[in-house]
Amino acid sequence: MKKINPITIIENLLWVINPCLILLCIFSNQLDLGKMLSWLGNWHPVILHFPIVLGIFVSIYLLLNFKPTISEEIEKYLFGINALLASIVALLGIFISVGGNYDKSLLTIHQWGGLSISLIAWMIVLIHKNTFASNKLLRQLVAVIYFVTIIFFTHKGGQLTHGKEALSMPTAIKAVDSNKPDSLLTVYEKAVQPILLNKCVTCHGGDKIKGDLQLTSIELIKKGGKNKDQITDRIHLPMADEKHMPPTDKKQLTKEELAILTKWMQLGGDLNKALKALSKTDSLYILATQYITPVIANNKEQADLAPFNNNYVSVQYNYHGGDKINVNFFQGAFYKTTYLEKLEEIKDQIATLNMQNIPLNKKDIEIIATFSNLEKLNLNFTKLNLQDILALNTLKKLQSISLVGMPINANQLQVLLKGSNIKKVQLWVNGLKQNDIAPVASKYPAVEIVVGDNLEAAILKLNKPIIEQDSTIIIDHINVPLKHFLKGVTIKYTLDDTEPDSITSPTYSKPIVLNTNTTLKTKVFKKGWIASDVIQKSFYKSELNPDNITLITQPDSKYIGSGGQTIIDHELGDVNFGNGKWLGYMKTNMEFVMRFNEATSLNEVIFNTLINTGSYIFPIQTIQMEASEDGKQYKQIQNVDFTNITKAYSKETNINQTQAFKLKVPKGKNYKFYKFTLRNLKQLPQWHPGKGTPAWVFVDEVFFN
Amino acid sequence: MNEFIEHGLNQNRRKFLSKLSLGLGGMALGSLMIPGIFDAKNEEDLFNNVLPHFAPKAKRVIYLFQNGAPSQLDLFDYKPMLQQMHGQDLPESIRQGQRLTGMTANQTKFPLAGTRFNFTQNKNTGAYFSETIPHIASISDELCIIRSLYTEAINHDPALTFFQTGAQVGNRPSMGSWISYGLGSENKNLPAFTVLLSKGKGNGQGVYSKLWSNGFLDSIHQGVQFSSGDEPVKYLSDPEFIDRGEKRKMLDEIADLNEQSYKEIGDPEIVTKIQQYELAYRMQMEVPEVTSLQNEPESIIKMYGPECILPGTYAANCLLARKLSESGVRFVQLYHQGWDGHNNLPDELVGQCKDVDQPSAALIKDLKQRGLLDETLVIWGGEFGRTNYCQGALTKDNYGRDHHPRCFTIWMAGGGVKPGVYGETDDFGYNINTLPVHVHDFHATVMHLMGVDHEKFTFKHLGRRYRLTDVAGNVVKEIIS
């Protein structure tokens, strides 16, 4: 059996470990290690010194290019072991980096640097056998690169863990006993230290010291960081500033915390200043005594809120990584007190609670009164009385409370505000006036009391009723429902062309039935409101249907509807002239012939037309009616001039509505053929933007009676 | 070739290959430690899990879109210079070759048109308001007015699409869809993104459903349009004789079938479909309550104006927007058409303002008196501005204005914005003098107010990551309180 050469084993191991390293480096943020490997990682700082020393030795050896060289065999071992150790250390380094809370950018540099050290060491082994041994220049070049790489990148690693010794500093930061009464605490213990502990020392103290700032002792705090930057230099910078602290992806300081740190630093950052030594009116005293350490889960992982959520309760963190929790309740009909009880597990973290429209009782309020860090509470329309919620007075962090819809009594309101820190109250309710709460407002000038607008007394005009019948054509009869959306209005109407009034006109109660040509006028009345405008609509009886229609002049190609049938199909177009239910003429008059199989007498002909002055659609100017027995010889029987309608228009006119033109037919003979000529306005008036050009005529229906 | 050398090379090749297999083994070893390295992992889940990135100032948005582009020169951006130079030609030094629309490209003259309206000034903030919007002027202490917005688009559709989706070409998700995707719904019984439409009497421009499209996001993030009439959400109510128990059973069975076909085909839209059915089922309970406006007290009706009880009006939509928003809808998008005043602008503007002024102001006041304004961001504005020169015939008190992308005004209120005036245009109201705000900047700022870093909030589609602000956008920090 062939004896196994240790060198071969080393070389093969290098072939395994190095590709593995490359892969792990690329996906280092997705690594998931078992306990064993994580433990192995802890050996990284222990054995890393071997390949550093060995590596430096190798590079110096290569650089100096000793003559005569040590034996090739020993050289092989030297390079091989060096490369193996480098690769193992790099591998362990990756293991230790997973899960460790290190500076990301520094870590990345160190990680890839470690990889390069390992790869260069491997390369020295690979090329040693061939050209390397004889090429002095190459040897020296590689030596220099290797040396620089080792020094530079291992130093980065040093920076990562630098600060281990800080753990043994005598004034190491340590949380104070939370049971100690305020009177025995220093300002530092009461307010400053908790802030530093919560938001600063993960990076500036303990395991890491970023930016050379270490917040573990007062000397170090005062020394500041890089460029002597004090904490107060950085925390006030705008978020967008690169130098802003804490970093944007970390928990930010609150306004109070900013104020506490600033004021304390202004006082000289005295570590031993007792809280009670400050005047009770001193702003630092007030801030410090009110400061409550935020509740933080030790492992920094946010607790899963899923169990508290359901279709009617939404429980969410203020933001990813935040401590504060927002709670919203929806759909009062499904509300259960148990939903609220369940929240007691996270009650110290609840910052906002919205219970708008949820029917609550006193028991619910008692639960809410234990949410000691609640800052904003919405109790709009919760069917409670002010008396019921006085228990909330104990919520010292509460800043804003909304009580919309709740009957308010100035005395009770004072009880609620007394001793509380509420800064804003929303109170709007029917009938409440600014005056009603004047005594409270004068007693608590710092509290913003929003009463809102109360406009019941304002007198406004009602809007018009709605005629819920689209058709205006009566074939036999037609139902016309009327509607108004405001509660408690009276709808009055007339059918005789007179103005409806509030006394004599009939009151609408059920749909009106019409069976003859009628103009319906209607308006609404309500106490405390100005009556609406009148709305009117004409309904036409269509008694006779012609047997045939022939268009003599063709409509404009854009508005051809369905040809002649359009105007006898009992389908009306609305004010939208482009909907294909209209015939439009502009270049010519509209001329058409109606044929009845039996000679028929006509009393009245009605043309339903559109007027839209903005779109150049104007009233018909004249209508000429001719009759014939054989369809060849026509004689004029009527000619009506409507030009006055157009003449009454002015530049103020802006009409878009349908309008009927009635033609009374003089009594006379019965005919089979009737021919109509509708003349359009040939020149738009001077005031119109289209002055001088012809106007349109739009017709959607003709009725014969 | 020398056979010895060849032999040596062979030897190396063989060696190399055998060593390579060792290397592959090493990589295989390493891959054991990286779970899911060979799975196509949904990276977007990672993004979703970290939202909001920081504490949001606003939890909800109500966007009152004034479709057609209201004239900033007749509403907010008071320019006495234009009144003095009324009828004179716009100097070329000001226009600087700005491209024109097809509607005024043939005009040989560009006579300046001073506004017909009188303006009042808020002494605290310096903001100007024309006499056509007295109600909005009355709440001016709440408003953050940006006079220096600008866009690249000069026609309605691209400009509108740009404002809604961050791109002029309509295949991207709407702003509301992004918010829905990123932050989800507060109230599980309502969609996170809803849309309300209304029409004024002025010259109108179309709005299309592409504006509230989910683009490449999951279709559950599409805006849900609430329409006027008996059925605010189409096809939501059950047919007669089907009770909720039956319906529940039916949905469960359908979900079973859908899950089966999802297992077979793996189309994510099937999952969306199941979610949509469930949402619709829950909406059946919530929507009638939220959309009924008749139970509002009379003083509220008087505040929004009597029109607010007429479904489909802007006033009704404002009231509805408040109700939806307070019920936890993240993004309520209104569109009010009719601002496209190419001709007869002053008269049309008066009509539009009559529709919009009182309800817009009422919405702000109503939110405020309920304690909701500080967590709700209200945005009011169009897709671009209007020119300082006249389109068509100019008379003393009648004029038209063409599209103007170089500067226009929008305002915001509540939700963490600082009241005041931001940005300034030149005396002609044609170019921006200071503090320009691009549409992308506007998007970045709104996202920021919602607690979202617009640069980190992306979605990978067709091989590249997209964001609402694409590759641009800076948060306008100065307007954030």
Residues linked to residue B464 through DSSP beta bridges, in sequence order: B461
Residue A89 to residue A675: CA distance in whole angstroms: 105
Å between A697 CA and nearest CA of chain B: 21
Supply the DSSP string of A78-100, one letter for each residue: HHHHHHHHHHHHHHHHHHHHTT-
Nearest to B159 by CA among B415, B481, B403, B467: B403
Residues linked to residue A678 through DSSP beta bridges, in sequence order: A590, A623
Which residue of chain A has the CA closest to B281?
A311
B188 in a structural domain:
yes
Per-residue pLDDT of A518-532, as tens digits, reads 889 999 999 889 999
What is the pLDDT of chain A when averaged over all its residues?
A: 84
Q: What is the mean pLDDT of residues A353-378?
A: 92
Give alpha helix (H) positions in B151-291.
Answer: 156-165, 175-183, 244-265, 268-291
Å between A475 CA and nearest CA of chain B: 27
User: If you count them, how many residues does chain B have?
Assistant: 481
Residue B7 to residue B3: CA distance in whole angstroms: 6
Whether pLDDT at A132 is above 80: no
Whether pLDDT at A167 is above 50: no
Residue B221 to residue B212: CA distance in whole angstroms: 9
Q: A319 in helix, strand or coil?
A: coil
Residue B13, chain A, CB below 8 Å: the answer is no
The one-letter amino acid code at A52 reads I
In our burial notation (b when 16+ CB lie closer than 10 A, e otherwise), range B147-180 reads bbbbbebbbbbbbbbbbbbbbbebebbbbbbbbb
The answer for A269, left when phi > 0, alpha when psi is -120 to 50, beta otherwise, is: left
Rounded to two decimals, the pTM is 0.70
Q: Which residues have CB under 8 Å from A38's CB, separation 6+? A: A95, A96, A98, A99
Cα A129 to the chain's mean position, in Å? Answer: 66
Q: Are A512 and A520 in contact (CB under 8 A)?
A: yes
Residue in A27, A37, A456 closest to B299 by CB? A456
Supply the DSSP string of A513-546, one letter for each residue: EE-SSEEEEEEEE-TTSBPPPPEEEEEEE--B--
Contacts of B311 in chain A (CB under 8 A): 485
Most A-contacting residue of B279, B290, B299 (CB-CB within 10 A), to test interface: B299
Q: What is the mean pLDDT of residues A531-558?
A: 88
Which residue of chain A has the CA closest to B201?
A656
Peptide bond before residue B158 is cis, with ω within 30 degrees of 0: no
Contacts of B309 in chain A (CB under 8 A): 463, 485-486
Q: B210 burial class (0-12, 13-18, 19+ CB within 10 angstroms)?
A: middle
Per-residue pLDDT of A11-52, as tens digits, reads 888 888 888 888 888 887 777 777 778 788 888 888 888 889
C-alpha to C-alpha distances, A86 to A60, A247, B464, nearest whole angstrom? 17, 34, 38
Å between A599 CA and nearest CA of chain B: 47
Q: Are A493 and A482 in contact (CB under 8 A)?
A: yes
Backbone angles phi, psi at A106, to 5 degrees: -65, -40
For A634, the token pair is 């026509």
Q: Are B60 and B406 in contact (CB under 8 A)?
A: no
Find the helix or strand (DSSP H, E) in which B367 lies: helix B345-369
Per-residue pLDDT of A104-126, as tens digits, reads 777 888 888 899 999 998 888 88
Q: Which residues have CB under 8 Å from B75's CB, separation 6+? A: B129, B130, B132, B133, B349, B353, B409
B335 in a structural domain:
yes
Contacts of A451 in chain B (CB under 8 A): 369
pLDDT range class, residue A196, cuts 50, 70, 90: confident
Q: Name the DSSP class of B478.
A: G
Q: A435 in helix, strand or coil?
A: helix
| Contact call for B326 and A27, based on CB within 8 A | no
Residue B384 to residue B161: CA distance in whole angstroms: 12
**What pLDDT is stored for residue B45 in this prediction?**
56
**What pLDDT is stored for residue A293 in this prediction?**
62
For A2, the token pair is 């062939």
Contacts of B56 in chain A (CB under 8 A): 318-319
Residue B127 sits in a domain whose CATH number is 3.40.720.10
Q: Are B327 and B187 in contact (CB under 8 A)?
A: yes
Domains in chain B, number: 1
Contacts of B12 in chain A (CB under 8 A): none
Peptide bond before residue A359 is cis, with ω within 30 degrees of 0: no
In our burial notation (b when 16+ CB lie closer than 10 A, e otherwise), range A209-226 reads bbbebbbbbeebbeebbe
B305 in a structural domain:
yes
B325 in a structural domain:
yes
**What pLDDT is stored for residue A67 in this prediction?**
63
Residue in B53, B293, B366 closest to A319 by CB? B53
Q: Which residues have CB under 8 Å from B195's CB, separation 6+? A: B176, B212, B223, B224, B225, B226, B332, B333, B334, B335
**What pLDDT is stored for residue B103 in this prediction?**
84
Residue B162 to residue B150: CA distance in whole angstroms: 11
Which residue of chain B has the CA closest to A95?
B33
Query: What ipTM does this complex have?
Result: 0.83
Cα A552 to the chain's mean position, in Å? Answer: 60
Å between B401 CA and nearest CA of chain A: 15
Contacts of B188 in chain A (CB under 8 A): 310-312, 314, 330
**What is the dihedral angle through the alpha carbons of A430, A436, A441, A447, rounded to the nearest 10 degrees?**
-20
For A316, the token pair is 């969410």
Angle subtended by helix axes A72-97 and A49-64, to nearest 10: 140
Residue A110 has, within 13 A of its CA and on its CB side, a CA count of 24
Q: Are B262 and B254 in contact (CB under 8 A)?
A: no
Per-residue pLDDT of A213-233, as tens digits, reads 777 777 777 777 777 777 777
C-alpha to C-alpha distances, B468 to B49, B106, B153, nearest whole angstrom? 18, 36, 17
Residue B203 to residue A614: CA distance in whole angstroms: 9
B17 in a structural domain:
no
Residue with tokens 């007027």: A611
Nearest to A203 by CA among A238, A242, A160, A170: A160
Contacts of B51 in chain A (CB under 8 A): 319-320
Question: Which residue segment(s) compose the domain that B140 sits in?
Answer: 43-236+290-479
A424-426 vs A208-209, strand pairing mode: unpaired
Nearest to B301 by CA among A122, A75, A461, A694: A461
For B72, the token pair is 């900033």
Residue in A248, A311, A401 closest to B54 by CB? A248
Residues linked to residue A544 through DSSP beta bridges, in sequence order: A704
Å between A24 CA and nearest CA of chain B: 6
For B252, the token pair is 């469960």
Å between A214 CA and nearest CA of chain B: 26
- The pLDDT profile of chain B, 481 residues, written as one tens digit per residue, is 456 666 655 556 667 777 777 777 777 777 777 666 555 445 555 555 678 888 899 999 999 999 999 999 999 999 999 999 999 999 888 888 888 888 888 888 899 999 999 999 999 999 999 999 999 999 999 999 999 999 999 999 999 999 999 999 888 999 999 999 999 888 888 999 999 999 998 888 888 888 999 999 988 899 999 887 777 887 777 777 888 888 889 899 999 999 999 888 888 888 888 888 888 888 888 888 888 887 888 889 999 998 898 888 999 999 999 999 999 999 999 999 999 999 899 999 999 999 999 999 999 999 999 999 999 999 999 999 999 999 988 888 899 999 999 999 999 999 999 999 999 999 999 999 999 999 999 999 999 999 999 988 888 888 888 999 989 999 999 999 8
Residue B352 to residue B346: CA distance in whole angstroms: 10
∠ CA A85-A88-A90, nearest 5°, is 110
Per-residue pLDDT of A620-649, as tens digits, reads 999 999 999 888 899 999 999 999 999 988
Backbone angles phi, psi at A512, to 5 degrees: -85, 135
Q: Name the DSSP class of A394.
A: G
Residue with tokens 């502009």: A586
∠ CA A386-A387-A393, nearest 5°, is 80
Residue B45, chain A, CB below 8 Å: the answer is no
Cβ–Cβ contacts within 10 Å for residue A590, how many?
25
For B250, the token pair is 């039916």
B148 vs A282, which has greater pLDDT? Answer: B148
In percent, the amount of chain A with pLDDT more than 90 equals 25
Which residue of chain A has the CA closest to B392?
A689
Contacts of A318 in chain B (CB under 8 A): 52, 55-56
Backbone angles phi, psi at A617, to 5 degrees: -100, 115
**What pLDDT is stored for residue B356 in this prediction?**
96
**What pLDDT is stored for residue A2 in this prediction?**
60
